[in-house]
Amino acid sequence: MNITFRQLRLFLALAETGSVSAAAKVMHVTQPTASMQLREVTQAVGLPLYEVVSRRVHLTEAGQALARTARAIAGEWDAFEQRVSGVKGLTSGRLKVAVVSTAKYFVPRLLGSFCKLHPQIDISLEVLNRDHVITRLRSNLDDLYVMSMPPGDLPLEDQILMPNPLVVIAPAGHKLAAKKRITMAQLQAERFILREKGSGTRMATDAHLSQIDFAPSAVLELGSNEAIKESVEGQLGVSILSRHALGPHHEGLAVLNVQGFPIQSQWHLVWPRGKQLSPIAEVFRRHLLGEAKGWLGAR
């Protein structure tokens, strides 16, 4: 089977972008060249590797196996290049990180000093909902992942990054905003505006409400923290969100002093067990853990 390393890179780009034209852009070749090389790869394997449905590429079983192989080979090569760069005293390379949407409120800040220390390193930061981050985790598409509720069915290396307190928020002028030790019974008549099922915040919220035997009388589900905050400000109800999602300034919103809150959740830094982190990923892991501690102390 005669397939070049560059052709493997091209097929991997096809698998990750879902488009021949997009893969061609990633590899800096023309679309006709990319199409020709992908045909050569298919001919070399001797099995259909992908099909195009509604202008979207879908990998066959053989294509998925080849993508996994290409990803493993590319990962090993990238790690080798980083080790060589380290011996030469260089710090160039690429780092890929995927985080759940709520982590976007603090992870970019923690990235700042790393970028200053290593300006030649290219960083790819994917911000997605929990299901999509887990999909990437299962396929080992990134170096490291940040989430609040890691999946329990995957063998993972898991390190606690920092606390993720979940608080009850209401409009700034809410009748209970100045009260202390509010009971859940006092919130029974409120509409609860919650994240969609499957999100880490919703999973932690549902587990806590079940534990204290509380069922909201009315629930509105929304798919983003921004939409929830706007809805609470608009006096559509109260919500339970990560304190990080509020940011340092949250005019128009009040954090209620509710008994049993905040829910003590955690942010986790994870990667597949058995995966050897690249030199850059290992340096970033240590940096991220150190920066998280320093950032918490400064707050």
Which of 162, 163, 145 has the alpha carbon at shortest distance from 154?
145
Higher pLDDT, 119 or 185: 185
pLDDT computed for residue 298 by the predictor: 47
Lowest pLDDT segment from 9-23, 69-83, 231-245: 69-83
Residue 88, pLDDT > 80, answer: no
CA geometry: angle at 179 spanning 175 and 180, to 5°? 155
Task: Compute the residue count for the chain.
Answer: 299
How does pLDDT run across 15-41, given as a tens digit for each residue? 988 889 999 998 988 989 999 999 999
Say if CB 195 and CB 245 are below 8 A apart. Answer: no
Q: What's the Cα-to-Cα distance from 96 to each of 4, 43, 99, 294, rounded to whole Å?
A: 24, 31, 10, 23
Alpha carbon distance 22, 40 (integer Å): 18
pLDDT band at 119 (very low <50, low <70, confident <90, very high): confident
Neighbours of 55 (CB within 10 A): 9
Say if CB 34 and CB 24 are below 8 A apart. Answer: yes
pLDDT band at 1 (very low <50, low <70, confident <90, very high): confident
Give the burial class of 75: count Cβ atoms within 10 A of its Cβ; 0-12 exposed, 13-18 middle, 19 or more buried: middle
Which of 176, 174, 172 has the alpha carbon at shortest distance from 253?
172
pTM for this one? 0.72
CA 290 to chain centre: 20
pLDDT computed for residue 72 by the predictor: 86
pLDDT band at 283 (very low <50, low <70, confident <90, very high): confident
How does pLDDT run across 186-210, given as a tens digit for each residue? 999 999 999 999 999 999 999 999 9
